[in-house]
Structure formats: C-alpha cells, structure tokens
Amino acid sequence: MALITKEEADSKFNQYYPVFTSVFSQVWNGWLLNSVAHRLMDKRARAAILRNDALFFLNDEIETSGLSDIKYIKLRHQTGFLIQDKYFVRIKKGDKNFRSSNYPTQAAMDFHDPNVDLFGGLVRLELLYILSDDGVQIDKIVLTQRNGKYVAWAIDLSNYNVHEMPENNNLWGDGGDQKATQVKPAKSVVKAKRTKTREAKIENGRGD
C-alpha cells in the first residue's frame, strides 16, 4: 500500500466532502432518536450503531444520487467504500489525536502498515467521526491516513464548513461528571506524533 499526500487526498476527495458531512448529520440525528441512546450503558453499542448507520446512509446516498466512482464494498474482514478504483476508505470512531479506535490485533496493525499489501495495492484511508468530550455531538469529521503508529496526515472536513452539524444539549449515558471543553478547529495537516496504546494481543507490538 502506498502512502499518499494530503494534497492528493484533497484533490481526489473534495467533491465528496459535502456528502460525507451530510451523512454524519443524518447519522447523529438518527442516534438522538434511537431508544438505545436513552439507556446507553456501553459506549461500544453507540459506536456500532453510528458506524452501521454511516455505512447505510452513505451507501443510500450513492445509490439515490448517482455519485460516480464510489461504491460500498466488503474486502475480507473490512467494510467500507472503494473510490476511483484506487482508494479504500473505512469509517471508524476517532480520538482527539485523529487516531481510530481499534482492538490491537495483527489485522488492525496491518491495516495501518504501508509495507503490508492487503487489498491488491489499494490505498487504505479512514473517515473518522470524533465526538465532543461530553458526547452530545459530533465535533469533527476527519479524513486521514496512518503510517503505522503515526498519523501521516489528516484533513478536518469541519474546516470546510460544508455542512452544519446538529447540536443537542442532553447527555445520554455518557457520564455527566465529564467536563465539556471547547475544541479548537484542527489544522488540516497533523504532524506525526507518538501516542500510547494498550497492547492486548501482540506481544511487544503495537496495535490499533
């Protein structure tokens, strides 16, 4: 798998930015109406629902609006979208460092390793949604590529102001004792930084 530049990514995907942000607006509105939101006990349930709905709404948008050069696809254990027959984009929950949340398995590490060819040379990217600290809204939508344990680059689609995200002041199952903080807009390019991860599967390795 090849690493690409932020500039290449922006030139290839900017036509899809309004669709990406619109989809996550639908996803979050759907979550607010979901009965699970009112009785959430395990945040993994929310992550699973948000990801599923993002896949559904984006696929529906592709089919109904006739978006070109993008399609829903399943590759081995991965589901996501093939764009221009060259880029595979998967949807994940992200953190403030623009890193996706993954259980540390060999497959997870391989996805972020540019030296490992998983899907016949396809460039592997991630479309991340990042929640606010209090969990009441989606703060950012980020397109990014990893180089192993580092973030190679990231484009914050929020900076493009292509779609206004809904806000909600009610806290549902997300820990009311957390303090909400205002997050400043992120730069479109994120320098590689070292972060700590919990290794549960690979001895003396790093998993994401």
| 58, 71 contact by CB (below 8 A) | no
In a domain, 178, yes or no: no
**Beta carbons of 198 and 104 less than 8 angstroms apart:** yes
Q: Is residue 166 part of a domain?
A: no
pLDDT by 10s per residue, the chain, length 208? 689 999 999 999 999 999 999 999 999 999 999 999 999 999 999 999 999 999 999 999 999 988 889 999 999 888 999 999 999 999 999 999 999 987 778 888 888 888 888 888 899 999 999 999 988 999 999 999 999 889 999 999 987 644 333 343 332 233 333 333 333 333 333 333 334 444 444 444 444 4
| In a domain? residue 168 | no
Report yes or no on 196 lying in a domain.
Answer: no
Inter-residue contact 119 to 160 (CB < 8 Å):
no
Q: Where are the beta strands (DSSP E) in 55-201?
A: 70-75, 78-83, 87-93, 123-131, 138-147, 150-156
- Report CA dihedral (47, 81, 106, 8) to the nearest 10 degrees: -110
Establish how many alpha carbons lie within 13 A of residue 132's alpha carbon, considering only the half-sphere containing its beta carbon. 24
- Examine residue 179 and state whether it is found in any structural domain, yes or no: no
Range of the domain at 37: 6-160
Cα–Cα distance measured from residue 127 to residue 66, given in angstroms and rounded to the nearest whole number: 21
**16-64: per-residue pLDDT in tens?**
999 999 999 999 999 999 999 999 999 999 999 999 999 999 999 999 9
Instruction: Answer yes or no: pTM beyond 0.85.
Output: no
Number of domains in the chain: 1
Q: Is 144 inside a domain boundary?
A: yes
